[in-house]
Structure 1
């Protein structure tokens, strides 16, 4: 019906005999219209909320948000390191959910300024793959095998009855039992990854500090070597305390620091001439022996006094500073300090170059891993940590701790441009945080839509007798007027 027909209908209709509308007809009609509008707005808002949650879930709100899932590289080539280490992300998956392949390094990353927010991370040597060690490394100390394929773990806050071996290429866990539960400090792993040197001591009475076991071993620790393949343990009880160790590249000898002396012992138990170092110096805690077998890296140690269970006073040997290191030549016995007080020794590049970690002087991230020459003449930055303000909900910069590298991968290491950080599948908690609200919104939206449809069906089923009396039956519709006749054109 067009506008002209409606105008004619209302103009020619005689409504004088029709009853008046009910008094509440118009308010009721307006109320229904308002209710319908509110329902439409509610559905729109719920749909918008669902869309926002989906977008937030996809972008993760908590930056950054890379979620790639590459497979572990089964045929790795030259080890590489990105020129920028990716920032902190709560979306980093666990090794158990997606193994990263061989790791170039493992490190602790985060901040505890407002609340403790830390991750134990493994960075792949074959791509921008980051994985958390998660519950496996919680409250534990670790060593990384020289080939980067295995992480060796021991307890840091309770007795260790067995070493835990975590295969980073297959996420498999294996345990190697020890002779008995003791306080254990991991010291070194051999070049072939088969043997681990560690120290043991009785548990201290006071375990309130996180480093209680480490401090106890620094005054009472005895050296042991375990074969990870057979489980056979060789104890070296004649030296106490042993505070650092390193395997020779050929795997036949072990250097270890006992008190103020550095001793070298064949794995058959024969002792060689001890190595003298200046007062206040001792072996670097990890990867101290150079790849060519001619030098040992050193760092500063100090002596404190500690009390044993029977109130006996003993000397405790602890690292004086993680910054600054030196080198001792095994052939000549000559020791020299490297002029880099801010550097922490990580491992050997070759005979004349080391890999070091240097924290940023400013609280704005930028911790660095670099290659330096022993003469101090050349320094090459390999990578920096893109720490920014990505920790504690963007309020704090991230800090790097307990960094250890795969020593066997350092000689061939190359730097490449950083790509997208692959963090694996989302952790379970992320799916719960994103999925539960989405599910609730979907259920509420479905309920509201169903109610609206039911209301519309009920209105459609109202009997014709209840229609407003002003509606006219079809028989009273006026006829459609004929169009005016056209005039013939002039001849």
Structure 2
């Protein structure tokens, strides 16, 4: 190359503007990181929105209008991690079953009681945290139509009952009207769902060393409280049964059954034998008699028998099969085919208690004595009970909506597995927050580089 050509090339190169290679590379890298971060945030937000718009893991929701029928699931599972709560969207609708116990998902991280709830037409599960041990069917009850759940609120300052509506998600606080009450618990629903029996514990002396229980009938529309009894033993888990027409209420305290009208007037009372108990919330029959659960002396064999509600006179054994090998049975109600649906309490294999001797019902159904529960159908003329519903170990109490019992239908269940809607909600939220922090960190780095 000649000297003249080389000088010409140098002059031409000097006239070309310099390309900022380092600065342009940094700017390109920043744009790439920003776009990737924003794309990640958008993707997670889309997943989060999708997670909030669908039910928890499990079978798809079945629209009752599309032909689904109310039925009892033939088995229940445990609430999955992150299960939706009773008041979360999408709403559950009426329930078929509620249950409680000490199994995984029912006792909470702080051992607070959790109620499992199963939809009436499909395996859609919800939960409700009580904050303490409150057995379903003794302190928590499902309304006859399965729409509402009555739960004690646990407040000593303003004791009362929370009515959790599973259809619209609202919670109504029913504050006790009993003077001096320190605790209130629901005890049973009227057949039309318009009234509720509530039991209040009231100190019997200034020191608070003794208590008495007051039973009241609460009309929910008017908020009117009518005293049914004011000397019930406070430690006894009193079973309450409404007659089919809702005009009479039977309850047991100790070894005595009392029958009162809805005006609070006592109509009759009679004593029970040591192996008898008022059968449960379904104790009244269509013909107006009362049903007792009776244990055969020296065994764990239970059967149902009818008595006259006015005198306690034995009306003879029923044609229903007996239940063997249980600590107790509790009568849920009567199906249209005449079958009695009962909860059978299976004894804990490690319990030292002998159940073939007289014990109060509340001692037979306490969590420490029970391994699991089943729903059984006692059909007239059958040789043995039919198992309708099974539950995992440590599901220790349950209640079934009256309309499910009357319908008498059982469906094949497929309880949900995996994780629920709340898990995805919190996971998505945590991911969005983490990506937001990364974007913020990237912006701060860019500012430092620019400086």
Do the structures match in fold with TM over 0.5?
yes
Which one of 369, 380, 390 corresponds to residue 375 of structure 2? 369
1:426 Cα offset (Å): 2.4
Which one of 425, 430, 443 corresponds to residue 431 of structure 1? 425
Q: Distance in 2 between matches of 1:200 and 1:253?
A: 20
Aligned to 1:473: none
Aligned to 2:260: 265
Aligned to 1:66: 57
Q: Distance in 2 between matches of 1:264 and 1:76?
A: 41
Q: Tell me: CA distance 1:299–1:118, structure 2 relative to 1, closer, same or farther (3 Å).
A: farther
Aligned to 2:162: 164
1:342 Cα offset (Å): 4.7
Between structure 1 and structure 2, the one with the greater Rg is: 1
Q: Does the 8 Å CA contact 1:349/1:355 hold for their aligned counterparts?
A: no
Task: Output the TM-score relative to the length of structure 2.
Answer: 0.64
Aligned to 1:460: none
Task: Output the TM-score relative to the length of structure 1.
Answer: 0.60
1:425 Cα offset (Å): 7.1
Which one of 235, 247, 255 corresponds to residue 227 of structure 2? 235
Query: In the TM superposition, what whole-angstrom CA distance separates every residue of 1:53-102 from its partner, at most 9, and x where no partner exists?
Result: 99x999x9xxxx71678488589964213333233312211122122111
Which one of 430, 434, 440 corresponds to residue 434 of structure 2? 440
Residue segments in structure 1 that go unaligned for 5+ positions in a row: 1-41, 206-212, 301-322, 388-397, 458-491
Which one of 255, 276, 279 corresponds to residue 281 of structure 1? 276
Aligned to 1:36: none
Which one of 395, 400, 408 corresponds to residue 395 of structure 2? 400
Q: Distance in 2 between matches of 1:335 and 1:277?
A: 16
1:239 Cα offset (Å): 4.5
Q: Does the 8 Å CA contact 1:345/1:357 hold for their aligned counterparts?
A: yes
Aligned to 1:353: 340
Provide the secondary structure at the position in 1 that maps to 2:387: strand
Kindly report which structure 2 residues correspond to 1:17-416, keeping only aligned pairs within 5 A, or say none. 66=57, 70=61, 73=64, 78-98=69-89, 99-109=91-101, 110=105, 116=111, 119-134=114-129, 137-139=130-132, 141-156=139-154, 158=156, 160-177=158-175, 178-180=177-179, 182=181, 183-203=183-203, 220-237=212-229, 239-241=231-233, 243-284=238-279, 286-290=281-285, 293-298=288-293, 325-331=302-308, 332-333=313-314, 334=316, 338-342=323-327, 344-350=329-335, 351-359=338-346, 368-373=374-379, 377-385=383-391, 387=392, 399-416=394-411
Residue segments in structure 2 that go unaligned for 5+ positions in a row: 1-32, 351-370
Query: In the TM superposition, what whole-angstrom CA distance separates every residue of 1:155-177 from its partner, at most 9, and x where no partner exists?
Result: 34635544322211111222334
Q: Tell me: CA distance 1:404–1:143, structure 2 relative to 1, closer, same or farther (3 Å).
A: same
Greater CA drift, 336-345 or 193-202: 336-345
Q: Distance in 1 between matches of 2:178 and 2:214?
A: 13
Q: Does the 8 Å CA contact 2:144/2:193 hold for their aligned counterparts?
A: yes
Q: Tell me: CA distance 1:159–1:377, structure 2 relative to 1, closer, same or farther (3 Å).
A: farther
Q: Does the 8 Å CA contact 1:328/1:335 hold for their aligned counterparts?
A: yes
Q: Tell me: CA distance 1:216–1:282, structure 2 relative to 1, closer, same or farther (3 Å).
A: farther
Q: Distance in 2 between matches of 1:447 and 1:201?
A: 58
Question: How big is the alpha-carbon RMSD for the aligned residues of Structure 1 and Structure 2?
Answer: 5.3
Q: Tell me: CA distance 1:189–1:75, structure 2 relative to 1, closer, same or farther (3 Å).
A: farther
Q: Does the 8 Å CA contact 1:346/1:354 hold for their aligned counterparts?
A: yes
1:247 Cα offset (Å): 0.8
Q: Distance in 2 between matches of 1:101 and 1:172?
A: 12
Kindly report which structure 2 residues correspond to 1:446-457, keeping only aligned pairs within 5 A, or say none. none
Q: Distance in 2 between matches of 1:179 and 1:75?
A: 46
Provide the secondary structure at the position in 1 that maps to 2:376: strand
Provide the secondary structure at the position in 2 that maps to 1:410: helix
Q: Tell me: CA distance 1:342–1:176, structure 2 relative to 1, closer, same or farther (3 Å).
A: closer
Q: Distance in 2 between matches of 1:156 and 1:402?
A: 19
Provide the secondary structure at the position in 1 that maps to 2:239: strand
Greater CA drift, 150-159 or 86-95: 150-159
1:299 Cα offset (Å): 6.8
1:125 Cα offset (Å): 0.9
